[in-house]
Amino acid sequence: MRLGWDREHIVAIEAAKRMEEIGVKAITVHGRTREDFYSGTADWEMIRKVKETVSIPVIGNGDVVDGKSAKKMLEQTGVDGIMIGRACLGRPWIFQEIRSYLDGTEFSMTKQEILQVILKHIQLAVEQKGEETGIKEMRKHVSAYIKNQKDATKIRNEINTIQTQKALEECLTQYFEQI
């Protein structure tokens, strides 16, 4: 759930109490209102208040983008777990990255490993949705994977014209050889 509809109507604590009363076993709280959508900073203080109000597990969501922010949310809110939202777009390995950070171990991905993840994603999309639809849908995912990389805008423009799995895979393989 979100905190409420807008900042004048924060209902998260009352809603959490009611959910617990009717037998809900756990809740996830996103630290923004519906009106906030994805703007501003997630209100971890309100998530903490929800956690302190109920005895069922509370999962926190909002502004967790890496291991450091995951640890910070856990410490500041006392939540039982965290939920990752948009931060996993283009970085499906974020879950392993966060687990490693929390465990105090190192995590990294080589360019070749990232390329292999993307190629597997393309393969699965084509298998599931067919080549035409799968490739069209993969364009936005590939854009997320290459965000903030060298020449990302140029390659994104090229990708948006590609129609086949083979052409997309070749384009990405060449791109990753250059970066």
pLDDT, residue 37, reads: 86
Going from N- to C-terminal start, the domains of the chain cover 12-103, 111-178
Shortest CA distance to 24 belongs to which of 48, 58, 73, 49? 58
> Looking at the predicted structure, is the pLDDT value of residue 146 above 90?
yes
Model confidence band, residue 122 (pLDDT cutoffs 50, 70, 90): very high
pTM, rounded to two decimals: 0.86
Give every CB contact of residue 42 below 8 A, 6+ residues apart in sequence.
30, 31, 32, 61, 62, 63
Model confidence band, residue 39 (pLDDT cutoffs 50, 70, 90): confident
Average pLDDT over residues 44-62: 98
Cα dist from 123 to 14, 35, 119, 130, 131, whole Å = 45, 37, 6, 10, 9
- Calculate what percentage of the chain has a pLDDT beyond 70: 100
> Looking at the predicted structure, is the pLDDT value of residue 93 above 90?
yes
Task: Tell which CATH architecture fits domain 111-178.
Answer: Orthogonal Bundle (1.10)
Out of 3.20.20.70, 3.30.230.10, 3.30.750.24, 3.40.630.10, which CATH number does the structure's domain 12-103 have?
Answer: 3.20.20.70
> Looking at the predicted structure, is the pLDDT value of residue 38 above 90?
no
pLDDT, residue 1, reads: 97
Mean pLDDT, rounded, of the chain: 96
